[in-house]
């Protein structure tokens, strides 16, 4: 099923296309939040409680930890990226057909693939079949999306693509590469492995590829597009933003070559260049658009970039001083929760209501509390993890679970706010 969108088509056709895209992005958002809550955050809390009780990272199955990471990176953030990507096609093209059938096929395969990856990793049931099958389903689902994006043609082909589009498309290509690598790794594991857990070094390399090759630059790209409009920041410096992405790619290459000190430096330069390019720590040049969001919106945008830089500083410290995984864990948490999740919480509550049927955010107060608790929980985790894991302060082990429960509360409030928003009728129907 496709819906033609050509010059001279009726308004009814365009409205139908918009409705299809809204339903599709809503499905991706809902399934992404389910992965965020159940196999993602709840499993993460359970993992941290187990680690704290045994006072060692080795007390839990690596397969459980990897299943948690998969649910968070692909199940939650990945679903959001695909949903927003499909929705964006209705805003970027005028001569092509909106891929309704491809979109729903992608959603079904992607959701099933993530679920099978989690089931195989956590239960160990038929993992030699489920793990490579999950990777294949995720790859095919993404190919439907990638093909739809590749078919896009701008209204003015001769016009040079904006920097934010270049960065987002580069991250999209990296997404495809990462999924191919993921399929190969899972197939090799199924043939020669003895447990549903990837080797530690390979797993960490893949996490770096997923986060620094896809999630971080995707955020930079959409920030370059939206922050001047929503937060009133200066227009981004395109050359510096591209240089920042180049530094992140250099860091990824250094990680795969196991040149960790070089990678740490490259990621730090990438972060500082992105901060400078996006002007997030500079005074705004226009008033922020705060209608239907909390007035703290620009503040939390800036806080996420503090976490980005903190994560890079901790990465450098981990290269020099980490012995038991505490500093590495704090660095990864500052990046994935402080920056990535923090950005999703603040930007998501700004744009998702509009994408999912031109709705209005249910509660600005819930938005504030979800953001506050997320960053408080992240601060506790980042501060306590090195102290506990590295043996500097044993009492930190008892405090670590509190950070997980604070973050869990933040996630629940975020999910409630989005769910409440989706249950409300569109603004134009009230």
- Same domain for 312 and 420? yes
Residue 123, domain member (yes or no): yes
- Rounded Cα gap, residues 185 and 199, in angstroms: 10
Overall pTM surpassing 0.85 (yes/no): yes
Number of structural domains the chain divides into: 2
Residue 251, domain member (yes or no): no
Residue 257, domain member (yes or no): no
- Rounded Cα gap, residues 167 and 280, in angstroms: 18
- Same domain for 164 and 287? no
Confidence label for 107 from pLDDT (cuts 50, 70 and 90): very high
- Rounded Cα gap, residues 378 and 341, in angstroms: 10
Residue 430, domain member (yes or no): yes
Q: Is the dihedral of CA 211, 215, 219, 220 positive or negative?
A: positive
Q: With 70 as the cut, is the pLDDT of residue 46 above it? A: no
Q: With 90 as the cut, is the pLDDT of residue 48 above it? A: no
- Same domain for 333 and 185? no
* Domain end (from 164, 183, 217): 217
What is the share, in percent, of the chain residues with pLDDT greater than 70? 86
For residue 45, what are the domain limits? 28-217
Question: What pLDDT score was predicted for residue 95?
Answer: 45
The values of phi and psi at residue 98, to 5°, are -70, 130
Classify 428 in phi/psi space as left (phi over 0), alpha (psi -120 to 50) or beta: alpha
Mean pLDDT comparison of 54-63, 78-87, 150-159, 328-337, highest-scoring range: 328-337
B/e letters for 29-58, b = 16+ CB within 10 Å, e = fewer, are bbbbbbbbbebbbbbbbebbeebbeeeebe
Q: With 80 as the cut, is the pLDDT of residue 45 above it? A: no
CA neighbor of 29 nearest in space, from 336, 427, 423, 428: 423
List pLDDT tens digits, range 344-380.
999 999 988 888 877 899 999 999 999 999 999 999 9
C-beta atoms surrounding 388 within 10 Å: 24
Q: Both ends of the chain: CA-CA distance in Å? A: 31
User: Could you please report the per-residue DSSP string of 50-101?
Assistant: HHHHHTSGGGS-HHHHHHHHHIIIIIIIIHHHHHHHHHHHHHH-SSSPB-HH
- Same domain for 197 and 318? no
Region 160-167 average pLDDT: 85
Residue 258, domain member (yes or no): no
Residue 22, domain member (yes or no): no
List pLDDT tens digits, range 248-274.
999 999 999 999 999 999 999 999 999
- Rounded Cα gap, residues 329 and 254, in angstroms: 19
């Amino acid at each position: 099923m496709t819906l033609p969108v050509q010059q001279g088509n009726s308004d009814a056709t365009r409205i139908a296309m918009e409705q299809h895209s809204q339903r599709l992005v809503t499905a991706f958002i809902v399934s992404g939040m389910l992965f965020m809550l159940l196999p993602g955050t709840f499993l993460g809390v359970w993992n941290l409680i187990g680690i704290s009780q045994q006072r060692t990272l080795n007390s839990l199955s690596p397969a459980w930890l990897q299943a948690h990471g998969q649910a968070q990176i692909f199940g939650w953030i990945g679903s959001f990226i695909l949903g927003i990507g499909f929705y964006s096609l209705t805003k970027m093209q005028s001569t092509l057909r909106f891929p309704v059938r491809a979109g729903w096929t992608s959603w079904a395969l992607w959701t099933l693939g993530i679920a099978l990856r989690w089931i195989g990793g956590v239960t160990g049931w038929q993992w030699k079949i489920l793990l490579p099958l999950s990777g294949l389903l995720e790859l095919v689902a993404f190919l439907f999306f990638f093909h739809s994006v590749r078919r896009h043609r701008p209204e003015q082909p001769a016009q040079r693509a904006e920097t934010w589009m270049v960065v987002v498309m580069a991250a999209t290509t990296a997404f495809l590469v990462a999924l191919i690598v993921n399929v190969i790794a899972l197939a090799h594991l199924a043939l020669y492995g003895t447990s549903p857990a990837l080797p530690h070094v390979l797993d960490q390399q893949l996490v770096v590829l997923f986060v620094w090759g896809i999630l971080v630059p995707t955020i930079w790209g959409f920030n370059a597009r939206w922050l001047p409009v929503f937060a009133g920041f200066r227009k981004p410096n395109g050359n510096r933003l591209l240089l920042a992405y180049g530094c992140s790619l250099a860091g990824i290459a250094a990680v795969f070559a196991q040149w960790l000190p070089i990678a740490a430096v490259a990621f730090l330069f990438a972060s500082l260049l992105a901060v400078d390019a996006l002007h997030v720590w500079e005074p705004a040049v226009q008033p922020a658009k705060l209608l239907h969001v909390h007035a703290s919106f620009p503040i939390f945008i800036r806080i996420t970039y503090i976490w980005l830089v903190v994560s890079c500083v901790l990465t450098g410290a981990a290269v020099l001083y980490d012995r038991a995984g505490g500093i590495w864990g704090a660095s990864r948490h500052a990046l994935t929760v402080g920056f990535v999740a923090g950005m999703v919480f603040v930007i998501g509550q700004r744009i998702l209501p509009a994408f999912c049927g031109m709705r209005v955010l249910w509660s600005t107060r819930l938005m504030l509390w979800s953001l506050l608790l997320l960053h408080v929980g992240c601060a506790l985790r980042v501060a306590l993890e090195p102290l506990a894991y590295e043996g500097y302060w044993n009492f930190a082990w008892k405090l670590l679970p509190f950070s997980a429960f604070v973050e869990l509360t933040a996630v629940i409030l975020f999910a409630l706010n989005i769910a409440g928003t989706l249950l409300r009728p569109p603004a134009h129907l009230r």
